[in-house]
């Protein structure tokens, strides 16, 4: 078995009542997801991403072709026990509380009560919902529901994680968390197939991507191969002084080359839009929306403020969350968690809107490193760490994360190094 | 198994927390005790008890039936429409296990609620005699005619075909046959006449009925009867002389080892009455004869209607009968749960509810439906007998096996009758529905939205 997921001319045609073909949702799709990679399935709304996932899992039957998941049928319960699936929205039983929800899914896997309990607590901790674990999930906000959705997908410690729009409705911290989680799972040898149109997320974590439009693959390959401009060179440095920049410029001019000094941009976004635009120009059919990149002012204006509100609302939640971030094991113990962190969080978040010193970053380095991996694994396996210690740890994690969340709030990026510095100061 | 159980408990939680069940629960918890006090019947203790048990059980039954239909449909269609099923069915659970889990949940909930309400009804019934001022005779009547389970020996219709044939031949010979009536109709008319003749007693005439295998548990036997008369007596009452004892003595006048009952009673006409007879008149071989003589004091022919005479004897306790009646309701609920689950595998919530309510109400009046279609079928013939007839036969007959029909007249609902009825309803009909449901559900596309 070479591939974790492989499809052979997978086709799904939705027909009308008379059996006439109406919509080619997925058209002759040949997809190969290797073991131990993060594969991103991208595309505009209605391009067939979710339909593909549903066929992989046996929720829909292909009109033509077939799909192999972990070498078998995705609807087979033996295969299912090795899969974690997060659907495009968190479809949860509203009347169950968070803990019962996870318990229910754990029981479907036939996990023994002890293991179940351990994993549930660990997962609740991880997604930061321990404080509200006894509230019915029907009362949860979208982001909180999403977190529970993610937790249920992980309860069996799956070999293959299938995530459909994992970051929708999540605050920046949650988004970062999912990305870190994905990377860490892959380090542990798991495979992740994720479906998204939030390109920044994909770019950060995916090894390979495929862009779908009108049910067909428009482009496929390694993220780096697809995005790299071979006729150019980019040097990424820490923040350096203007004089240093001048010196470098001088050097480059000696080489007879042009040089522009900026902070790095999201390049995948352009690529994505280009791909879709090209497909649209060829007048290819799509059953989805024919999207443009323009969004009405009224839609974009409020978002920053709302994000902050969102975080504030869930602040008591996120306070305890995010234990998987790096260096958690070596923090200075703080007494009990107080409302204080919230204020810090707020000020940092609001502060983030102001321009701070731009710092270039090398992409690969921005990925969270080893310490993180260790932490999450240990969490899944042994969650019996004393509560108090955990909370102390969490508080410092929060500080770290708020430090980290700055770039997301303000379109800037920082190196891990500078973050570490922040934490130390705090 | 663990996954079935997980789905089942989740279904119960759903029903309880979504307050679907709560509405029914509260309704019954309030209504049942209120009924216990307000149901008076005909004013006697027996009437009060009969009314309460009848209304209480019927109400419980119908509310639980509705609840079962709603929950079984809601819990499956809601999972599909709200798409929780996406996360459930992609876990290592087979589709049939999912449906079985839903069914198990609904049936368990039914069993719990039914036993709760049955316990309430039973308790109220048992304590009713102590709550109200009752006379000693009322208590004895209630004990004899309500707090018991009596087996009934009905009189089989007498075979009169030979006499009908003779009569027909005679009419034919005398050329007295009516012209414009078919042979079948004449025979039917003659049969009715002959049978009526067998049940009629002229003044002074004696009618004898024989009963086999009489094994009374208690001290008494009861003869239950109704008089019809040709001419109304002045005070609407007639005299009858009743005998009961060894059939050989009554038929042939041979020596009898057991005592023989012989007494004259005065009873009003066109009402059911019961005469209590000591059980020791029953001979050892269990072959009992009951005889009625139209007393010479009367001035009229007395006719017993077709269901006009029965011998009743105590065969079991009220408690046993009550338990079986409740089990009968449970089998009805299981059938409805399977029906609801079947409907929800291919219909959306409102449509499935409509269909099930329609089938439920049809089943509740199945006797009437079958009868009226039977009448129609004379005209529709073949089309009917190959289509609708089968569909109607597939429906359970809730009215035919109505538990109150047994409890109110204190009739024995025997284990064998219960087994037969529940067996057909649950083991055959409900199982069939469930199999169809499993097949449909296993092959349908879960993510396809039904509208």
Q: What's the whole-number average pLDDT of chain A?
A: 69
Confidence check: pLDDT of A300 > 90: no
What mean pLDDT comes out for the span A224-229?
76
Q: Would the CB atoms of A93 and B10 count as touching at under 8 Å? A: yes
Determine how many CB atoms are found less than 10 A away from the CB of residue B350.
10
Establish if A238 belongs to a structural domain: no
Q: CA of B276, closest CA in chain A: separation in Å?
A: 59
Please say whether the beta carbons of A231 and A200 come within 8 A: no
Q: Using a CB-CB distance cutoff of 8 angstroms, which residues of chain B are in contact with residue A87?
A: 83, 86-87
Terminal CA-CA length for chain B: 32
Question: Tokens 């192999």 correspond to what residue?
Answer: A68
Q: CA of A356, closest CA in chain B: separation in Å?
A: 43
B56 closest CA partner among B42, B36, B75, B38: B36
Mutate: best of A12, A93, A162, partner B, most B CBs <10 A: A93
Establish if A137 belongs to a structural domain: yes
Provide the pLDDT for residue B351: 94
Provide the pLDDT for residue B449: 65
Provide the pLDDT for residue B377: 60
- B291 has which bridge partners? B208, B243
The model's pTM: 0.73
Provide the pLDDT for residue B331: 92
> Is residue A209 located within the same domain as residue A305?
no
- Per residue in B2-41, pLDDT (tens digit) is 889 999 999 999 988 888 788 888 988 898 888 887 877 7
Provide the pLDDT for residue B330: 94
Confidence check: pLDDT of A330 > 60: no
> Is residue A47 located within the same domain as residue A172?
yes
Q: Would the CB atoms of A107 and B5 count as touching at under 8 Å? A: yes
Query: Who among B3, B84, B86 is closest to A93 (CB)?
Result: B84
Provide the pLDDT for residue A364: 42
- Per residue in A301-326, pLDDT (tens digit) is 333 333 333 343 343 433 334 344 44
Question: Tokens 């308790």 correspond to what residue?
Answer: B123
Q: Would the CB atoms of A95 and B13 count as touching at under 8 Å? A: yes
Closest alpha carbon within chain A to B93: A77
Confidence check: pLDDT of B265 > 50: yes
Closest alpha carbon within chain B to A103: B6
Burial class (CB in 10 A: 0-12, 13-18, 19+), A20: exposed
Q: CA of A8, closest CA in chain B: separation in Å?
A: 20
Closest alpha carbon within chain B to A78: B92
A413 closest CA partner among A197, A202, A262: A262
Q: Would the CB atoms of A80 and B82 count as touching at under 8 Å? A: no
What mean pLDDT comes out for the span B186-215?
84
- Per residue in A61-97, pLDDT (tens digit) is 999 998 999 988 888 888 999 999 999 888 899 899 9
- Phi first, then psi, for residue A405 (nearest 5°) are -70, -15
Q: What's the whole-number average pLDDT of chain B?
A: 85
Q: Hey, is A215 helix, strand or coil?
A: coil
- Per residue in A393-411, pLDDT (tens digit) is 454 444 444 444 444 433 3
Closest alpha carbon within chain A to B446: A59
What mean pLDDT comes out for the span A173-200?
83
> Is residue A171 located within the same domain as residue A311?
no
Establish if A230 belongs to a structural domain: no
What mean pLDDT comes out for the span B423-441?
90
**Alpha carbon B385 to its chain's center:** 26
User: Measured between alpha carbons, how far is B390 from B386 in angstroms, rounded to an integer?
Assistant: 7
> Is residue A326 located within the same domain as residue A413?
yes
Residue A91 is part of which domain span?
3-224
> Is residue A357 located within the same domain as residue A219?
no
Q: Would the CB atoms of A77 and B5 count as touching at under 8 Å? A: no
**Chain A residues near any Cβ of chain B (below 8 Å):** 54, 57-61, 77-78, 80-81, 83, 85, 87, 89, 91-93, 95-96, 100, 104-105, 107-110, 136, 149, 152-153, 156
Provide the pLDDT for residue A180: 81
Confidence check: pLDDT of B113 > 90: yes
Q: Of all helices (H) and strands (E), which one includes residue A307? A: helix A303-313
- Per residue in A99-157, pLDDT (tens digit) is 999 999 999 998 888 889 988 988 888 888 888 889 998 888 888 888 899 889 989 88
Query: Who among A80, A95, A96 is closest to B91 (CB)?
Result: A80
Confidence check: pLDDT of A351 > 70: no
Provide the pLDDT for residue A264: 60
Count up the domains in chain A and report the number.
2
| Cα–Cα distance list, A417 to A25, A182, A345, A368, A424 (Å) | 45, 22, 20, 11, 11
Query: Who among A58, A80, A92 is closest to B84 (CB)?
Result: A92
Q: Using a CB-CB distance cutoff of 8 angstroms, which residues of chain A are in contact with residue B7?
A: 108
Q: For residue A211, what are the contacts with CB-CB under 8 A and spacing of at least 6?
A: A42, A43, A217, A218, A219, A220, A272, A275, A276
Q: Using a CB-CB distance cutoff of 8 angstroms, which residues of chain A are in contact with residue B93?
A: 77, 80, 108
Which of A18-27, B212-221, B262-271 is most confident?
A: B262-271
Q: Comparing A184 with B217, which gets the higher pLDDT?
A: A184
In total, the C-beta contacts within 8 angstroms joining chain A to chain B are 81
What mean pLDDT comes out for the span A247-266?
76
- Per residue in A193-223, pLDDT (tens digit) is 988 877 777 887 888 999 888 888 888 888 8
For the domain made up of B200-316, give the CATH fold. Answer: Jelly Rolls (2.60.120)
The domain boundary, picked from A202, A224, A246, lies at A224
Provide the pLDDT for residue A107: 92
> Is residue A46 located within the same domain as residue A146?
yes
> Is residue A320 located within the same domain as residue A202?
no
Report residue B436's pLDDT band, with 50, 70 and 90 as the boundaries: very high
The domain boundary, picked from A172, A193, A224, lies at A224
Q: CA of B351, closest CA in chain A: separation in Å?
A: 18
| Cα–Cα distance list, A124 to A95, A105, B411 (Å) | 18, 14, 59
Helix axes A172-187, A303-313, angle to 10 degrees: 70
Provide the pLDDT for residue B212: 80
Establish if A393 belongs to a structural domain: yes
Closest alpha carbon within chain B to A101: B10
The domain boundary, picked from A184, A199, A224, lies at A224
Provide the pLDDT for residue A329: 39
- Tokens representing B151 are 């087996």
Query: Could you tell me the residue ranges of all domains in chain B?
Result: 2-142+318-443, 200-316
For chain B, the three-class secondary structure string (H helix, E strand, C coil) is CHHHHHHHHHHHHHHHHCCHHHHHHHHHHHHHHHHHHHCCCCCCHHHHHHHHHHHHHHHHHHHHHHHHHHHHHHHHHHHHHCCHHHHHHCCCCCHHHHHHHHHHHHHHHHHHHHHHHHHHHHHHHHHHHHHCCCCHHHHHHHHHHCCCEEEEEECCCCCCHHHHHHHHHHHHHCCCCCCCCCHHHHHHHHHHHHHHHHHEECCCCEEEEEECCCCCCCCEEEEEEECEECCCCCCCEEEEEEEEEEHHHHHHCCCCCCCCEEEEEEEECCCEEEEEEEHHHCCCCCCEEEEEEECCCCCCCEECCCCCEEEEEEEECHHHHHHHHHHHHHHHHHHHHHHHHHHHHHCCHHHHHHHHHHHHHHHHCHHHHHHHHHHHHHHHCHHHHHCHHHHHHHCCCCCCCCCHHHHCCCECCCHHHHHHHHHHHHHHHHHHHHHHHHHHHHHCCCCCCCC
- B263 has which bridge partners? B242
Per-residue b/e over A243-281, b at no fewer than 16 CB within 10 Å? eeeeeeeeeeeeeeeeeeeeeeeebbeebbeebbeebbe
- Kindly report the CATH number assigned to the domain that includes residue A175: 3.40.50.300
Q: Using a CB-CB distance cutoff of 8 angstroms, which residues of chain A are in contact with residue B446?
A: 58-60
């Amino acid at each position: 078995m070479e591939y974790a997921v492989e499809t052979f001319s997978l086709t799904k045609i939705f027909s009308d009542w008379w059996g006439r073909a109406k919509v080619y949702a997925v058209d002759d799709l040949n997809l190969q997801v290797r073991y131990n990679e993060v594969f991103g399935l991208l595309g505009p709304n209605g391009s067939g991403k979710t339909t593909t996932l549903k066929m992989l899992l046996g929720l829909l039957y292909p009109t033509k072709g077939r799909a192999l998941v972990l070498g078998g049928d995705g609807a087979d319960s033996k295969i299912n026990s090795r899969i974690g699936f997060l659907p495009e929205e968190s479809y949860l039983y509203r009347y169950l509380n968070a803990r019962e929800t996870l318990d229910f899914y754990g029981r479907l896997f036939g996990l023994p009560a002890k293991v179940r309990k351990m994993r549930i607590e660990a997962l609740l901790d991880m997604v930061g919902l321990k404080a509200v674990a006894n509230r019915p999930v029907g009362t949860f906000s979208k982001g909180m529901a999403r977190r529970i959705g993610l937790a249920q997908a992980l309860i069996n410690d799956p070999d293959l994680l299938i995530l459909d729009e994992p970051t929708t409705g999540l605050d920046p911290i949650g988004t970062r968390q999912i990305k870190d989680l994905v990377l860490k799972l892959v380090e542990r040898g798991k495979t992740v197939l994720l479906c998204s149109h939030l390109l920044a997320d994909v770019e950060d974590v995916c090894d390979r991507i495929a862009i779908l439009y009108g049910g067909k693959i428009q482009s496929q390959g390694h993220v780096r191969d697809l995005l790299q401009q071979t006729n150019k060179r980019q040097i990424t440095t820490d923040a350096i002084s203007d004089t240093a920049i001048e010196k470098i410029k001088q050097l480059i001019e000696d080489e007879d080359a042009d040089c522009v000094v900026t902070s790095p941009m999201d390049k995948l976004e352009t690529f994505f839009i280009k791909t879709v635009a090209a497909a649209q120009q060829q007048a290819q059919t799509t059953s989805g929306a024919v999207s443009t990149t323009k969004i009405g002012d009224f839609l974009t204006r409020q978002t920053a403020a709302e994000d902050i509100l969102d975080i504030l609302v869930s602040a008591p939640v996120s306070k305890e969350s995010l234990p998987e971030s790096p260096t958690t094991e070596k923090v200075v113990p703080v007494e009990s968690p107080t409302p204080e962190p919230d204020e810090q969080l707020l000020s940092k978040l609001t502060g983030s809107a102001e321009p701070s010193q731009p710092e270039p970053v090398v992409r690969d380095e921005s990925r969270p490193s080893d310490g993180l991996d260790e932490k999450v694994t240990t969490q899944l396996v042994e969650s019996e760490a004393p509560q108090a210690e955990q909370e102390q740890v969490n508080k410092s994690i929060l500080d770290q994360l708020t430090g980290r969340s700055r770039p997301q709030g303000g379109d800037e990026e920082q190196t891990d190094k500078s973050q570490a510095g922040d934490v130390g100061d705090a | 198994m663990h996954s079935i159980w997980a789905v089942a408990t989740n279904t119960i939680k759903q029903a309880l927390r979504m307050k679907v069940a709560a509405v029914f629960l509260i309704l019954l918890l309030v209504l049942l005790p209120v009924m216990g006090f307000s149901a008076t019947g005909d004013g006697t203790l027996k009437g009060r008890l009969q009314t309460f048990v009848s209304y209480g059980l019927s109400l419980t039954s119908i509310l639980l039936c509705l609840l079962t239909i709603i929950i079984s449909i809601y819990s499956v269609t809601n999972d599909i429409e709200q798409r929780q099923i996406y996360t459930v069915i992609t876990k290592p659970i087979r589709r049939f296990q999912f449906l079985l889990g839903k069914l198990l949940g609904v049936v368990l909930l039914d069993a719990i609620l039914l036993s709760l309400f049955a316990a309430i009804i039973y308790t109220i019934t048992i304590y009713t005699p102590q709550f109200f001022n009752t006379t000693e005779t009322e208590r004895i009547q209630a004990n004899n005619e309500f707090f018991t389970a009596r087996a009934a020996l009905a009189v089989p219709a007498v075979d009169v075909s030979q006499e009908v044939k003779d009569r027909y031949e005679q009419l034919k010979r005398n050329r007295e046959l009516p012209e414009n009536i078919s042979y079948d109709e004449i025979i039917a008319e003659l049969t009715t006449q002959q049978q009526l003749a067998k049940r009629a007693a002229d003044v002074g005439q004696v009618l004898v009925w024989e009963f086999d295998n009489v094994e009374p548990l208690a001290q008494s036997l009861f003869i239950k009867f109704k008089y019809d008369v040709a001419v109304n007596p002045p005070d609407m009452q007639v005299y009858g002389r009743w005998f009961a004892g060894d059939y050989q003595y009554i038929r042939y006048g041979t020596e009898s080892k057991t005592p023989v009952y012989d007494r004259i009673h005065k009873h009003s006409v066109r009402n059911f009455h019961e005469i209590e007879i000591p059980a020791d008149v029953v001979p050892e071989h269990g072959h009992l004869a009951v005889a009625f003589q139209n007393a010479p004091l009367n001035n009229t022919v007395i006719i017993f209607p077709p269901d006009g005479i029965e011998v009743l004897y105590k065969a079991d306790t009220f408690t046993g009968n009550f338990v079986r009646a409740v089990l009968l309701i449970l089998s009805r609920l299981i059938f409805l749960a399977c029906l609801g689950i079947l409907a929800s595998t291919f219909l959306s919530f409102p449509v499935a509810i409509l269909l099930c309510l329609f089938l439920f109400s049809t089943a509740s009046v199945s006797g009437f439906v079958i009868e009226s279609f039977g009448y129609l079928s004379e005209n529709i013939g073949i089309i009917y007998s190959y289509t609708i007839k089968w569909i109607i036969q597939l429906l359970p007959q809730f009215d035919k096996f109505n538990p109150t029909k047994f409890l109110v007249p204190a009739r024995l609902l025997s284990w064998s009758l219960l087994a037969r009825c529940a067996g057909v309803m649950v083991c055959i009909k409900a199982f069939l529905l469930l199999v169809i449901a499993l097949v449909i559900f296993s092959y349908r596309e879960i993510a396809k939205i039904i509208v």
